[in-house]
Amino acid sequence: MRSSISVLHLTAHLGGGIGKALSGLVVNSPAESGIDHSIVCLEKPEKTQFLEQLSNSGCPVTVAPDHSTLVKLIEASDIVQLEWWGHPASIAALCSASLPAMRLMVWCHVSGIHTPIIPARLIESSHRCIFTSPCSYQAAEVELLMPTTKSKMDVIHSAGGFDGFEMPERRWDDPIVAGYLGSLNFAKLHPRYVEFLAAVDIPGFSVRMIGDIANREILEKQCRDVNKPDMLQFRGYTTDAASELAAINIFPYLLNPQHYGTTENALLEAMAMGVVPIVLDNPAERCLVTDKKTGLVVRNRQEFADAVSWLARNPEERLNIGNQAASTVRERFAAGKMTESFNNHYSAVSIADKMEISFDKIFGKTPAEWFLASQRNPQFFTNKYQKPIDELILPGLLERSKGSVFHYHKYFPEDKRLSEWAKRIEN
């Protein structure tokens, strides 16, 4: 290994899961590893929690650089690590003007099974492509790649460790207290989440909703519609998730089957605190939860209701599963493992030649083409699509962020095709 390898992370922002992942990677990187991290954050962070952690660790963070500054940073770096999830700011930075030759690593923070996809040409153009879940191997673009391309892939979960998540003392005679931590957008949360909860036959059953209050009014109306107006308790956003998780013991983490997630840090943090997760049988969740060992995996509303009732009737089993979940994720997703795995890849990539990459051949030349490059169902936009759109896909199309057409239109309002598609989806 060289005496020092400089790694430049190119990320759209430092919020949520990506902020925790990069902070965990950088802060837990041993000084003797010889890896020097720096970060380009293309947007001004809305929340500064992880920006402050990175800055306090001595990691240089450049926010919203102009093109000439970005070029100089790339030229000075041994490796450029693209943090990929289809964000318009990232594609714009890559495609708006030419960039110098680089050694490119791609860390994919979406599964690629659904929108946003991981473009095959992006994988082929990289020196290494790292997934954050084994489920990404199921993505159509990945399955069709040549064996030589697949040989440069790996999986490194984006778990930033569990510092500050001290396991609380839990007892078998604790009453059932349910909570949810994470996004309330229906591209992530199951659109029929309230209907699942309403199927539980336990008097007074409720769920503490921890996180941003997006869609609160819709969820409250849904609760009133099923005659359970107090079923959800909105706690709001917090930087102290550990305290909230210490107060609950079951975790109804029911996600949209079309969701884009992978490592699911909120789920892992709950498990690390001994909270028993109940998840749907989705690809990403199957990679994280083992049924009846580290949580419960269900397929429909009735199975979910039965799972909650079973946990209520079997408190010792609930305690055992919670303890097994905590020990398993703390060992399997330790931040040191993530850092060690990346350092091995950095060492291998650093001796390769830098390459000039034509990103416009990967994503296209216009913002509309950039948007389509990450869509699983581009026909929704390019054709006069008249059929009803599946209710599980629709929330992702209506998102105002997460790489939706509205997100791209906000960044590139002058693009006429994006404007047309946004109007069509809105209608």
Would you give per-residue pLDDT tens digits along the chain (427 residues)?
447 999 999 999 998 789 989 999 998 888 888 999 999 999 998 888 899 999 999 999 999 999 999 999 999 999 999 999 999 999 999 999 999 999 999 999 999 999 999 999 999 999 999 999 999 999 999 999 999 999 999 999 998 789 899 999 999 999 999 999 999 999 999 999 999 999 999 999 999 999 888 899 999 999 999 999 999 999 988 889 999 999 999 999 999 999 999 999 999 999 999 999 999 999 999 999 999 999 999 999 999 999 999 999 999 999 999 999 999 999 999 888 999 999 999 999 999 999 999 999 999 999 999 999 999 999 999 777 778 889 999 999 998 888 999 999 999 999 999 999 999 888 7
Q: How far is CA 54 from CA 15, 39, 43, 80, 109, in A?
A: 12, 9, 16, 18, 19
**Residue 295, by phi and psi: left (phi above 0), alpha (psi -120 to 50) or beta?**
left
Number of domains in the chain: 3
86 shares its domain with 114: yes
Q: Both tokens of residue 301?
A: 């509303």
Asked if the structure places residue 172 within a domain, the reply is no
154 shares its domain with 11: yes
57 shares its domain with 110: yes
pLDDT at 385: 74
Strand duo 79-84 + 61-63: pairing: unpaired
216 shares its domain with 267: yes
Q: How many CB atoms lie within 10 A of CB 43?
A: 15
Q: How far apart are CA 80 and CA 8, in angstroms?
A: 5
Q: Whole-angstrom distance between the N-terminal and C-terminal Cα of the chain?
A: 57
Asked if the structure places residue 173 within a domain, the reply is no
User: 3-class DSSP state for residue 238?
Assistant: coil
344 shares its domain with 326: no
pLDDT at 376: 95
54 shares its domain with 116: yes
pLDDT at 197: 98
Asked if the structure places residue 171 within a domain, the reply is no
Q: How far apart are CA 118 and CA 360, in angstroms?
A: 15
Q: What is the maximal distance between C-alpha atoms in the chain?
A: 65
Q: How far apart are CA 235 and CA 233, in angstroms?
A: 6
Asked if the structure places residue 166 within a domain, the reply is no
228 shares its domain with 321: yes
pLDDT at 1: 41
pLDDT at 77: 98
Per the CB < 8 A criterion, the answer to whether 138 and 113 are in contact is: yes
Q: How far apart are CA 255 and CA 114, in angstroms?
A: 13
Residue 229 has phi, psi (to 5 degrees) of: -65, -20
Asked if the structure places residue 372 within a domain, the reply is no
Asked if the structure places residue 214 within a domain, the reply is yes
The pTM (predicted TM-score) of the whole model is 0.94
Closest-CA residue to 233 (of 209, 263, 258): 209
54 shares its domain with 102: yes
Sheet holding 79-84, edge to edge: 61-63, 35-41, 5-11, 79-84, 104-108, 128-131, 153-155
211 shares its domain with 355: no
Our measurement of the distance from residue 302's CA atom to the centroid of its chain's CA atoms, rounded to an integer in Å, reads 28
Asked if the structure places residue 167 within a domain, the reply is no
249 shares its domain with 198: yes
391 shares its domain with 298: no
Give the domain extent around 87.
5-161+335-365
Q: Both tokens of residue 375?
A: 């869509």
pLDDT at 256: 98
Residue type, 372: L
CATH code of the domain in which 314 resides: 3.40.50.2000
pLDDT at 46: 83
